[in-house]
Structure 1
Amino acid sequence: MTIAATLDSADGQRLIEQVAQTFGVDDDKAGQAVHTLTDELQARVQRRMLNRAGVADVAALVTNPAAGTALSEPQTLASPEAVDSGNHILDVLIGSKHVSRKIAARTASSSNLDTGTVEKLLPAVASLLVAELQRQSQPALQKAVSGIPGLSGFGGSPLGLPGDAPPQSGSASDWSSGNGQSPSGRPSGAPIDAGQPLPIPGDNIPGLGRRSGRSYPQPDDNDDPYQRLPDIIRRGGQQVPGGGGSLEDIIRSIFGKVLGSNRGVIGTMIQLFLIRWLASLARRFLSRIFTGR
């Protein structure tokens, strides 16, 4: 099921009603705003994933264990903590407050809400989008990384949920040679050391990757390897066992299916730029016909 289909379901309608209640707006207007903002943000996710660094950025958002709070506790979407979390998502996906305000203004016009209210809804919808992307992609994501040493396990969840126990460094694995050591001398079952993030020039320029602003200590036996998954993707070259292809392409495909757009990089570029550009031209043309301007 895609995110768009989820919004149209009974559960999606109940969620929209909760959003309307939380922000004190009419249910119908809230529904229109949520659908429009979701479409806008889905396009931004697809655009971010056109390159490897963008796939890593989206993976960092989706594999954050706290991301699911937006779905499990939607009544808290207006809290300061939820707003900060949503604004961080917008920073990753959009990177410009000016563009965010333009999206809010367009949505306000189409949903008959004031711009200030839609600006409050925007980080909430961003959090809901990432939470739903996490929920739907989790099984496929776990399957994709299950065969990669150091990225499997954790109670069957790729998200490192509270209560999951990390694998023991002395456990058996395909690396084991009978002495608990890998060919490189690393204890079998120990997480992959992806090292420090690459020092990418223009760190906050969309399309070139970004830093999270936090430090990256050297991993130990109790470290959650999924915290380093985005950096592993960003470095590239990791292949999924069994002929599955590159980790970057597999994860892009997983997210693309949930977003309802799994056309690959070239197909996504055509959809995002050519089709949306033609649609914009059509809207301007029709506007001139009806307004006489």
Structure 2
Amino acid sequence: MQDYVASREPVGSKTIVDRYSFGVSAATIRNDMAALEEDGLIAAPHTSSGRVPTDKGYRMFVDHLAEVRAMTTAQRMAIRTFLEEGADLDDVLARTVRMLSQLTNQVALVQIPVVPRSYVRHVELVLLSPSRLLVVLITDAGRVDQKVVELPQGDDQPLVDDVALAELRARINGVLVGRLLADVPATLQSLAETLPAPRRTVLERIGAALSATVDDRQDRLILAGTANLARTERDFPGSILPVLEAIEEQVVLLRLFREMELDERGVSVSIGRENPLVGLAETSILAGGYRSSAGEVARIGVLGPTRMDYSGNIAAVRAVARYLSKLLGEE
């Protein structure tokens, strides 16, 4: 297994005899390999070639993995330093997938914490011009979202100036701070009904921007390292196009990702044809869990060919998840 993962070349009995001191003949090794092939654990990709692991073989290997290769001190320091430099939640998560893709040479995925249990910490309004307004939403998890709103113009003057904007800002924060994000649209609608027509129009534009922000932040994935698939294209007979198309189906991929049950090691591995999503039959998905500042558990992991370094990838996912949980818990 490890020889094939390292070399990508089918492994034959002679290679095993030459490389390892088992004290048995090549004929004995061939007999053992024939038994493994009969059990469906290895297969010959070509006549007279060596053998490669099957999905069933990878599954047995992962399930009986006795040791997970530890991260080096330098790797642990790099993870901590890189993640601590994140400016906000979005930046931290973007850094997380970049770091994980570099550590594993796979596609890295992180699930954004679910929105409905996040709360509004503050809404900021910045007048960019008489006709443009920047709306900034800050949540209890430290996430910052920004949208630019085009303002309608009055007959002879802007609908809002700095004084009117300050009053509107105070009223919006008065009704939104501490509320669930899911409650934002209805709360602003109720507030709009108490305002005179010109201010109501402006608030409706702001409300539409904030509602769109809430919708945009529904459960989704951030990915990095898709280019790593091209570097392992030989691991995908035919074409990597189906894999790329499957990755684009974020809703389906996310459902598969979050439904993976973590084992006692805090990870879950879905191998080859265990993946129900069309296009991922030649890939493995390895998932772990991290805890957001709001206490929600979300998934983090990697996707790549079945011929991957499972021990090293499990170690990387667990280490990055652990540092991410620690960092978010300190916010």
TM-score higher than 0.5 here?
no
Q: Higher helix share goes to which structure?
A: 1
TM (norm. structure 2) is: 0.27
TM (norm. structure 1) is: 0.30
**Whose Rg is larger?**
2
Larger RCO (CA under 8 A, 6+ residues apart): 1
Q: Higher strand share goes to which structure?
A: 2
